[in-house]
Structure 1
């Protein structure tokens, strides 16, 4: 009887130990799982602009495709350097992404001292090709064509989506230099702020991308003077917008925004984040959203993004010299 009792007690102890070990193993697996908490996307530009709108839409799929909430945190200023610096100061645990662009590396270092280099980040996947368009509000400025801009007979005030070192600032400044028109830049922290300034008549000209200007053009409030995309662009609901190159002005630029993390983040975590965004891009509802914005997601990988930055760095040198004169 005693032997049977001892055997029963031993079996109970062994079972309890196995159960505890199994539970501990599961607990360790859960703690090692990535992600197991909220992921943050740092946004260099203000609320309502093209990249901010897209990033927030991507973030809304966090629970569906990543299993955790994803939020967007805006850190504006410094032509994007404030946001990038914040991302590089965050833990390299994969819980912080940043939206970056080419000019942070191809333009900004020519205009201000920066404490980072391209080797500090890893681009995960592209977000969009930046199709900048120059716009006027004829009811406020009386300017509705490129010829009208040339004949305005005054110093033109133009809104940019950032200061020196920013892509929009550089390209619209180049445009006025090429046209030989006296002009004054009025920098704003994002595309929506620049468009609001144009709508209110605070500036004569503004630069923007389709998500922020499209409705204004569709309702007849704004007029597109041209785009820096050399072959021109077709925008849903608006039609074709000619390039400045087609109009005899040597000013072209194809920008890009993309998702990135610190380069020291674990490769497996980089893959998880990249796969998450790929799933969002493939989602029919997201594709419908992007079409409604007059845009397409740009799914370029790390190598293509880095090559674009290298190419852009070479192409921008003449423009940098022109703007600095």
Structure 2
């Protein structure tokens, strides 16, 4: 064979080998997703993953009631776990006034991006609309998880010597008008229920509104009013140390409070009145369901934390882990029950 022919054969072999390598490389590119189409898909997925992270910034809890009350104290404790369970700060803002309607309106005007929660209660829907014109309904929010059952107790200053309903009636029969501390006016649950109690007892009484539950209890301890209404976080220590007396509770089955014991219901004392309230965390109903789930799981994790449970025990309470449907059912039942009491105070 001539030298030229051998050289040509070698060149042809190299060309064929190179062609095969290029062909295999092309096939390999398709299976690993490096084709232009696949690369485009990969580039689109990365921003979606980044944008889908929630939360990425501070979350705000709007609180309708004043600093230091039961729901405010619990909400602030929940918020303190934000960094631990969400990786972002959680703060509480008090938007007081209008029997809670100011806070509710502010929450519904906030962006529906999941970064604003609100603490709500039953009377915002079952009671307040009968006294105040509101532009919201229960359909505008989604309850995430319960916070607490509102266990209202009526109390007196121990110096008064009034320890039960009969002694209260005897005090009024002497010509005294009972001055009672409430948190708010008509449309507020504590105002309504204690006002109904005095109506049913046929006792002359005058409401003295305060900004929050703790202020109302402080007024009673200071002797500025005869009677006050409160929940365990605000009155418990005063009862334990003997400064205040418990006259009864609106909870129909009575109430057990850590460090105090059993508190009789007004129904058990012959007064046909009861009320079981509730506080809960909520967001605008238009918030994305996945974000609602993140927020609900966050609060549930806090409730399961041993330190938080110890905190609640110290307040004489337990977290109320009700679901959305349970909360809605309870609000609707409360709305029907309130039709019996509202005419007594309108």
Q: TM-score, normalising length from structure 1?
A: 0.91
Rounded to whole Å, the distance in 1 between the matches of 2:229 and 2:99 is 15
Contact 2:157–2:243 (CA under 8 A) maintained in structure 1: yes
Task: Name the counterpart of 1:95.
Answer: 115
Pick one of 56, 80, 84 that aligns with 1:36.
56
Structure 2 gaps, min length 5: 1-33, 35-40
Structure 2 residue 339 is matched with structure 1 residue 317: yes
Contact 1:163–1:188 (CA under 8 A) maintained in structure 2: no
Task: Name the counterpart of 1:144.
Answer: 163
Structure 1 gaps, min length 5: 1-13, 15-20
Rounded to whole Å, the distance in 2 between the matches of 1:75 and 1:163 is 16
Please state whether the residue corresponding to 1:119 is helix, strand or coil.
Answer: helix
Pick one of 285, 296, 303 that aligns with 2:318.
296
Task: Name the counterpart of 2:85.
Answer: 65
Pick one of 158, 162, 168 that aligns with 2:180.
158
Structure 2 residue 207 is matched with structure 1 residue 188: no
Alpha-carbon offset, residue 199 of structure 1: 1.2
Structure 2 residue 265 is matched with structure 1 residue 243: yes
Contact 2:200–2:271 (CA under 8 A) maintained in structure 1: yes
Task: Name the counterpart of 2:71.
Answer: 51
Alpha-carbon offset, residue 143 of structure 1: 2.6
Larger radius of gyration: 2
Task: Name the counterpart of 2:95.
Answer: 75
Contact 1:160–1:187 (CA under 8 A) maintained in structure 2: yes
Structure 2 residue 299 is matched with structure 1 residue 277: yes
Rounded to whole Å, the distance in 1 between the matches of 2:269 and 2:136 is 38
Alpha-carbon offset, residue 323 of structure 1: 1.3
Alpha-carbon offset, residue 162 of structure 1: 1.9
**Range moving further from structure 2, 117-126 or 189-198:** 189-198
Alpha-carbon offset, residue 142 of structure 1: 4.2
Contact 2:232–2:317 (CA under 8 A) maintained in structure 1: yes
Rounded to whole Å, the distance in 2 between the matches of 1:78 and 1:204 is 25
Rounded to whole Å, the distance in 1 between the matches of 2:158 and 2:318 is 29
Alpha-carbon offset, residue 147 of structure 1: 1.7
Pick one of 226, 233, 236 that aligns with 1:204.
226
Rounded to whole Å, the distance in 2 between the matches of 1:237 and 1:286 is 19
Rounded to whole Å, the distance in 1 between the matches of 2:57 and 2:47 is 15
Q: TM-score, normalising length from structure 2?
A: 0.85
Structure 2 residue 255 is matched with structure 1 residue 233: yes
